[in-house]
Structure 1
Amino acid sequence: MHELVFFDMTRWEITPRYRAGMTNYRAENADEDSLRKIKRGYYVEWRVADKHKMTFFDRMDLFVDTVDTDAPKILAGDAVRDGLSQIARRPFRLKPYFDPGVWGGQWMKRVCGLDPEYPIRFDFLDAVGGQNLVNAVTVVNEDEHVREEHTGLHELEFIETRRLWIEDEVTIDNGGSVNQLNLVEGERALVESLDGSFEPYKVHYAETFIVPAAVKGYRLVNPTGERIGVIRAYVRKPQA
């Protein structure tokens, strides 16, 4: 008898370890520029590891979270698989990940009360003075319920981004793709199931949340009485 044990470490933990001198997989590059090590992990090692992980995921007996070296956390493989199965059928939030960068982040300093020296990158980009990064948009749909804008990604990009200004509610077909959203204007919003498969899910201003592809369709509801804004990103369908 034997058990298959998977030891996991998150990417947000690996990244600072690269900066502290950890090497890439089977490499002797402790002194290499940390950005190069991160790129190597992001574009090569982590992609390969993700595919390798899936080859034995269904057979995994134990899952070990190694982020805290002194206090690893262990879960039964069945518990991990059951948890992921539940997550895949309902909206969920992402844990914010802050990482040093060269962008200003004036908006984040003001809204979230971060230290003036706290850097910002990726999800919460803003212009140098704290203004919106994208202002030139194309209106693709507008009625008394919602104004939908295309925010300008190039046609060769595989990600589509839309901004929705919602007066009351709007029903969305996710097109068979995972949807990533952020409440960019307004105090709060609700994500509702079309078939009652999950309870209404509340999100607040500046929170990023995921609606898995398995949900298929969902409803965004504005409970505030004032217009709210939501950014929605998803994978474009291949052109015929």
Structure 2
Amino acid sequence: MSHYELAPEIKIKQFEGVWSDYRTIANKLIKVVKDETKSRTILAIECYPGVRNEEFEKHLIPLLAPKKIIFADDIAMDGTEITEMVKRTLTDDRVFGVMSHYELDEFFPKEKVKAVQEEIATTEGLIVIYGTGATVIAEPDILVYADLARWEIQCRYRSGEIGNWKMENYEEDALRKYKRGFFFEWRTADRHKKKYFDKIDFLLDTNVGNEPKMVSGTDFRQALRQVASAPFRVVPYFDASVWGGQWMKERFNLDPEAENYGWAFDGVPEENSLYLRFGDVKIEVPSINVVFQHPNELLGPKVHSRFGTEFPIRFDYLDTVGGGNLSLQVHPSVEYIQDKFGRQYTQDESYYILDAQEDSTVYLGVKEGTTKEELMADLEKAAKGNYRFQDEKYINVFPVKKHDHILIPAGTIHCSGPNTVVLEISASQYIFTFKLWDWDRVGLDGLPRPVHLEHGRENLQMNRDTKWVKENLINQFEILKDENGVKTERTGLHELEFIETQRHWFEDKVTLETHDSVNMLNLVEGTEVVVESVDDSFEPFEVHYGETFIVPECVKKYTIRNTSTDSNQKVAVIQAFVRNL
């Protein structure tokens, strides 16, 4: 039986107080307002896009009995105006936009803001401003920040519960809503959030409907400081796919009634969240908040200086056991992603084969003699329908087995075949995958899955052929150390990629260094290990098979001890970090 932890929590050691349910939260805020002893007090509830404002209107604000209520969203431009303003960011594409650099206040007409501020200046008593942009309207005396996990936003998009900010596009294609969030709304909201992090008086968790939880800003910031000082896990989430899979259901104790789980995100801090345990109350916050607040401690100064407040490494699972192939795809070059989409770096990646069956395969690189013209002509013919792309005529298919490591630098055509469990280790670019062929499938939403042949054409590296792939991308293992019961191998990634991966086999324990970078690791063999401090700076941290965990750069050195049920069982962890180029 797997001990994979589906809801890992971080126990916060020191905090002053935590409040749950709207009445308790309102009573706390009322007390704070009274302590202000001012004739006019402005309480702002700044909301991440996607937060349920109607809950505040119904359950919180009436309890506060304010003299004046202002909904910030009413002061902002309407959705049509915003769409026109950001149309170059959104583009006409269903999936891809251009990374925006807008500030939130750009969407609030100055004359409307000024008029509201004049009203505020003539009002005595408590004034409550709530919604996205509440802090644009006025500088608050008390700031409550209502935060929301990225995955929860996506679920609300899919269900049709919400549209995008200032839009009534509830029934619009979820991919288009996600695109608007990813390229525009979340960038703008994160930029604004970072400005106010140190001014937050209370952090409000709004992830579960009508079950709010609140903690003081001081305790929230202290909690993030604690997270950035020791090993931790983010909260994984699992999603169905058109290609599979059944393996994770059994191994990770997922819902056996679900049709499949093709995806698992267990190491994507921009997408995942954290469970922070304050006594009896669990607070959920986006894990990217730790990166925003403590980039030097978490990422390391060198990685921070290179990537800013982005977490550059991503671990996720692709499960095709009992399913089909992934889409045939390619990732953009750095130059292309910078020019077309405004990103700093590209989605270089690799497939670590966590489990495999006799027929497990990967598609990787083009066959000798293939030309881009004939390959693209066949892909374009297939995209028009009524024709099956002749995949094995053009693309290499290699058998794979458990613990193989397949390197996939940008520009290499690739995909996983059926009956394979892939631990995907890649740079964190999230959605920059150009699908070229998808085996005539439609998505789970019933719509044809989008392909991007023109983007693909510009990025396919035709020199990644059979010979080159065999010599450069398949199991490029180099033994770095094999002594005292520890075998350490460099397994990748390719020299064109900025991530290095090392695999450590051991029976008792291994001591690792962070290499001036945040570390992301996964227990790929064995049932259980414990991560221990070499200087008692953090408590022992338990990890189970298949769990991804993060070690902040500030830890510098740490030990992993084998605590598997069979003490003679050799275990293995794979460690990823940013190369110090």
TM-score (norm 1): 0.86
Matched, 1:235 2:578: yes
Match for residue 104 of structure 1?
244
Matched, 1:16 2:155: yes
Alpha-carbon distance in structure 1 between the residues aligned to 2:320 and 2:262: 11
Q: Cα gap change, 1:160/1:39 in structure 2, threshold over 3 Å: closer, same or farther? A: farther
Q: Which has the higher helix share?
A: 2
Amino acid at match of 2:527: E
> Secondary structure of the residue that 1:105 maps to in structure 2?
coil
Match for residue 49 of structure 1?
189
Is the 8 Å Cα contact of residues 105 and 126 (structure 1) preserved in structure 2?
Answer: yes
Matched, 1:192 2:331: no
Give the drift of 1:134: 4.3
Alpha-carbon distance in structure 1 between the residues aligned to 2:250 and 2:206: 34
Matched, 1:80 2:418: no
Is the 8 Å Cα contact of residues 231 and 551 (structure 2) preserved in structure 1?
Answer: yes
Q: 1:31-50 counterparts in 2 under 5 A? A: 31-50=171-190
Alpha-carbon distance in structure 2 between the residues aligned to 1:18 and 1:77: 29
Give the drift of 1:61: 0.3
Match for residue 121 of structure 1?
263
Q: Cα gap change, 1:133/1:184 in structure 2, threshold over 3 Å: closer, same or farther? A: closer
Amino acid at match of 1:195: D
Aligned counterpart in structure 1 of residue 477 of structure 2, from 128, 136, 139: 139
Alpha-carbon distance in structure 2 between the residues aligned to 1:75 and 1:69: 17
Alpha-carbon distance in structure 1 between the residues aligned to 2:190 and 2:199: 15
Q: Which runs of 5+ in 2 are unaligned?
A: 1-40, 42-140, 265-315, 323-354, 357-401, 406-473
Alpha-carbon distance in structure 1 between the residues aligned to 2:166 and 2:202: 25
Is the 8 Å Cα contact of residues 64 and 72 (structure 1) preserved in structure 2?
Answer: yes
Is the 8 Å Cα contact of residues 105 and 124 (structure 1) preserved in structure 2?
Answer: no
Amino acid at match of 2:579: R
Is the 8 Å Cα contact of residues 139 and 147 (structure 1) preserved in structure 2?
Answer: no
Aligned length: 238
Amino acid at match of 1:118: N
Give the drift of 1:102: 2.7
Matched, 1:5 2:144: yes
Is the 8 Å Cα contact of residues 127 and 133 (structure 1) preserved in structure 2?
Answer: no
- Per mean C-alpha deviation after superposition, the further-off stretch among 223-232 and 193-202 is 223-232
Alpha-carbon distance in structure 2 between the residues aligned to 1:24 and 1:193: 44
Match for residue 64 of structure 1?
204
Matched, 1:209 2:349: no
Match for residue 222 of structure 1?
562
Matched, 1:29 2:372: no
Cα-to-partner distance string for 1:5-30 (whole Å, 9 max, x where unaligned):
11101112101111122222334533
Give the drift of 1:56: 1.2
Is the 8 Å Cα contact of residues 190 and 220 (structure 1) preserved in structure 2?
Answer: yes
- Per mean C-alpha deviation after superposition, the further-off stretch among 196-205 and 157-166 is 157-166
Give the drift of 1:127: 4.6
Give the drift of 1:47: 3.4
Amino acid at match of 2:476: T
RMSD: 2.4
Alpha-carbon distance in structure 2 between the residues aligned to 1:98 and 1:226: 29
Q: Cα gap change, 1:152/1:32 in structure 2, threshold over 3 Å: closer, same or farther? A: farther
- Per mean C-alpha deviation after superposition, the further-off stretch among 145-154 and 32-41 is 145-154
- Per mean C-alpha deviation after superposition, the further-off stretch among 161-170 and 11-20 is 161-170
Q: Cα gap change, 1:56/1:178 in structure 2, threshold over 3 Å: closer, same or farther? A: same
Is the 8 Å Cα contact of residues 183 and 230 (structure 1) preserved in structure 2?
Answer: yes
Cα-to-partner distance string for 1:89-141 (whole Å, 9 max, x where unaligned):
11112222112223423321332343262323142224545614844423232
Cα-to-partner distance string for 1:55-86 (whole Å, 9 max, x where unaligned):
11111101001112312111100110111111
Alpha-carbon distance in structure 2 between the residues aligned to 1:117 and 1:138: 36
Q: Cα gap change, 1:158/1:18 in structure 2, threshold over 3 Å: closer, same or farther? A: farther
Match for residue 159 of structure 1?
499
Alpha-carbon distance in structure 2 between the residues aligned to 1:69 and 1:19: 16
Which is higher, the Rg of structure 1 or of structure 2?
2
> Secondary structure of the residue that 1:101 maps to in structure 2?
coil
> Secondary structure of the residue that 2:191 maps to in structure 1?
helix
TM-score (norm 2): 0.38
Alpha-carbon distance in structure 2 between the residues aligned to 1:171 and 1:106: 35
